[in-house]
Chain A
């Protein structure tokens, strides 16, 4: 890679303290020679990024601040996550996008797929073509896409990635999945040992702590603390607070007005079937598979996102979680204009209410605060329907 001068954005001095700190931290990393690859989605095999000696950083955005800027170029009735992510890129206000060497997109949903074309005008955006089914030809196609992504990394950085580099990255990532899964599975305890708000916040914050091992150690330590606190409780009778499962779209952008709000109203969010929840963590990459690319392709193609069609396995998986976490009700969060989750909600509602006999609440929302009051009333009414 050609050595370029590492500079801060022109408006840097006007940024708030937290944002300036983020920029300075990223700048320092880059000055130490760090390779940084920006990405959006859990379908992208970060094993290859680690194998290239680079750091993967998440670029999905969760605040409405850059949305007006994004709407200059994108339609208003688009998913807030897509608009916000593009808006941050456009306005030079996200340190992670700004200091990414290049960006990896994927053809998950139509909104993102087309947004990446606009994003490419700002920064080199490499798009992985994700097939939307899981049959043999899709698997072969996706395996090929993974190999092409490896070539992109090798060419971009002028390096060679060996099989051992990939295997080592698989081991490191599998350990991370295992730690995060064990952390999220603490939600199975009754009474709930911590808030769902904490779980979601900690998982998301983790993706910005770049030392993978340090991140895992931090979460391991938290697991031990939470368990010790729980064991020390004088009273372990199961709680009367309704235990909720949250499913659907990424929820970090609406965590305050839904997750925190429902917990303040007297429920415990104990399980997350979301991409910042346990969805990507359940299945490790099969390290014993002699073909590393096949192992990666199988793992990532099995992610239960609604972009896949059909996606019945998501229902099986939610059913299993309802039993394992002793769930009393399900809240599905659909971000505005997310067609795949919005349509698939039909099956989830039917499955939850008819097959599992539990109350189900669907909330369609965006990153604005305008529906906060209405959402609060719905959440309160939903809890009132749970007889516990």
Chain B
């Protein structure tokens, strides 16, 4: 049995994809703990338990901000290239990939399977998963609950571009007795606005595919589509786009 392994150690979650000759054989996600090295070891143990030990993998490619911690990887590739390759594979055609990650957000143009240009947010957590996490925490809910609340709300303005200041705004909304639903809707809109701003700076060409963990939230996808004024595609494996791209690179297929 020959297989290839892609590992994407993000700031919040680590994703793993195993590709065989015929297609995807295994995939799983686990939280990235405080140590990427520890996470890399956990992944190896889990792969062995699933019947895909890394020692027998023909190639292991690691990506994500913790990629250097995967000492058993044959190669490391940036998450930008991996998301581009993986996203293209999922959608099956040239597109612009928007990845809302735990600590950064990227907009990547992919032509014929290869990322051609990209833009990343600057030194700031506004417009990232981290922003949503902080705000959800402030509202005393988890991420899925935040989206459920938001869906039932009318967005309140959260105008600050800075996470720290935005958190103060949320606190004043709470203090003013505003509805949690409306605050939650405001929080999601704030992220969507920041992501759309990044898309505008990059100039989107063609269709948009949202990858990363947040693509599982239909509400966020819908708000992003409304703000971008164009459909936003998602895929059930969207959060695995980076790991899939890494596995594809391991396998050496371009398309």
Chain A residues in contact with chain B, CB under 8 A?
A: 353, 359-360, 364, 370-371, 373-374, 377-378, 380-381, 384-385, 387
Contacts and interface: CB of A to CB of B under 8 A. Distances in A.
A373 B117 CA distance: 19
B104 A381 contact: no
23 contacts: A364-B122, A371-B122, A373-B65, A374-B104, A374-B120, A374-B123, A377-B65, A377-B80, A377-B120, A378-B118, A381-B78, A381-B79, A381-B81, A381-B115, A381-B118, A384-B77, A384-B81, A384-B115, A385-B81, A385-B114, A385-B115, A385-B116, A387-B114
Nearest to B78: A381
A374 B79 CA distance: 11
Contact of A370 (B65, B81, B118, B123): B123
Closest 10 CB pairs of A and B: A381-B80, A381-B78, A384-B81, A380-B78, A371-B123, A377-B78, A385-B115, A381-B81, A385-B116, A378-B120
Interface in B42-79: 65, 77-79
Contacts of B118: 378, 381, 385
B49 to A, nearest CB: 31
B121 to A, nearest CB: 9
Contacts of B79: 377, 381
B164 to A, nearest CB: 15
A384 B117 CA distance: 10
B253 to A, nearest CB: 16
Nearest to A363: B122
Given A364-B122, A370-B123, A374-B104, A384 B78 contact: yes
A359 B118 CA distance: 10
Contacts of A370: 123
Contacts of B116: 359, 385
Contacts of A353: 117
Given A374-B104, A377-B80, 6 more contacts: A359-B116, A360-B117, A370-B123, A384-B78, A385-B81, A385-B114
Nearest to B119: A362
Contact of A385 (B104, B117, B120, B123): B117
A359 B115 CA distance: 11
Name the prevailing secondary structure of the B interface residues. mixed
Interface in B226-249: none
Q: Which size bracket describes the interface of B in this complex?
A: 10 to 19
Contacts of B122: 364, 371
Contacts of A387: 114
B143 to A, nearest CB: 24
Nearest to B103: A374
A384 B80 contact: yes
Interface of B: 65, 77-81, 104, 114-118, 120, 122-123
Contacts of A377: 65, 78-80, 120
A359 B117 contact: yes
Contacts of A384: 77-78, 80-81, 115
Contacts of B115: 381, 384-385
A173 to B, nearest CB: 40
Contacts of A380: 78
B118 to A, nearest CB: 6
Contacts of A359: 116-117
A377 B79 CA distance: 8
Nearest to B122: A364
Contacts of B77: 384
Nearest to A362: B119
Contacts of B114: 385, 387
B236 to A, nearest CB: 26
Contacts of A360: 117
B87 to A, nearest CB: 14
A370 B117 CA distance: 24
A377 to B, nearest CB: 5
A378 B79 CA distance: 10
A387 B123 CA distance: 28
A360 B119 CA distance: 11
A359 B109 CA distance: 12
B233 to A, nearest CB: 22
Nearest to A379: B78
A360 B65 CA distance: 23
Nearest to B76: A380
A319 B122 CA distance: 28
Nearest to A364: B122
A374 B11 CA distance: 13
Nearest to B249: A384
A359 B117 CA distance: 7
A385 B81 CA distance: 8
A78 B78 CA distance: 32
A230 B115 CA distance: 35
Contacts of B123: 370-371, 374
A148 B171 CA distance: 59
A359 B114 CA distance: 13
A111 B192 CA distance: 34
A298 B123 CA distance: 41
A20 B79 CA distance: 45
A256 B235 CA distance: 40
B105 to A, nearest CB: 12
A368 B31 CA distance: 31
A274 to B, nearest CB: 21
A331 B93 CA distance: 28
Of listed B78, B80, B117, residue having the most chain A CB within 10 A? B78
A265 to B, nearest CB: 10
A351 to B, nearest CB: 14
Contacts of A374: 104, 120, 123
A359 B108 CA distance: 13
Of listed B65, B81, B104, residue having the most chain A CB within 10 A? B81
